[in-house]
Amino acid sequence: MLLRHAKSSWDDVALPDFQRPLADRGRDTAPRIGAYMKANDLVPDAVLCSGARRAVETWELIAPALGSSRVHIDDNLYMATPDSIVAWLRKLQSDIGSVLLIGHNPGFEELAMRLAGDGRKKALKRIRRKYPTAAVAIIRFDVEAWPGIGDGAGYLDAFIRPKDL
């Protein structure tokens, strides 16, 4: 599951990008995405979250709905390339069946497009149009273990945007 952080604030232009907090709209949409994920049985076994403030705040707002998961906050996910994210995913332990990544564009949009070789037509159409803040792509893989994931190996099962809720 690839969740782009919720809407961030630009109120303080002096803040470094890494330190930007969520905007009011982001604080509203993040819990709704979390509730959607729980209601649709999209509770991850593990979470990898960018260390950027807006990503961490997004996780903190959806965490109550998803319960406890193994959580790893990693500054290296901030603006990570799709190749580096796939390399990290391929190293996941075999007991992790699902993972939620919380991060940023343009990396997440590019990664989702690369991984999803196929998918639901409506979801593919939406994700090709725009990957807005607080949107989550659900990509499923029919592989034995995490090293089997790669370009075109996934199926885009859903692409949920805040305005869909």
3-state helix, strand, coil in the chain (%, to 5): 40, 20, 35
Element (H, E) at 87: helix 82-89
pLDDT score for 68: 72
Residue-level pLDDT, tens digit, the chain, 165 residues: 999 999 999 999 899 999 999 999 999 999 999 999 999 999 999 999 999 999 999 999 999 999 877 899 999 999 899 999 999 999 999 999 999 999 999 999 999 999 999 999 999 999 999 999 999 999 999 999 999 999 999 999 999 999 998
- Running DSSP on this structure, what letter comes out for residue 132? -
Residues 131/108, Cβ–Cβ less than 8 Å: yes
Say what the pTM is: 0.94
Max alpha carbon distance in the chain (Å)?
47
Q: What domains does the chain contain, in order, with CATH numbers? A: 2-164 (3.40.50.1240)
Structure tokens at 150: 């790669």
Cis peptide before 132 (omega within 30 of 0): no
> Tell me, what's the pLDDT at 67?
83
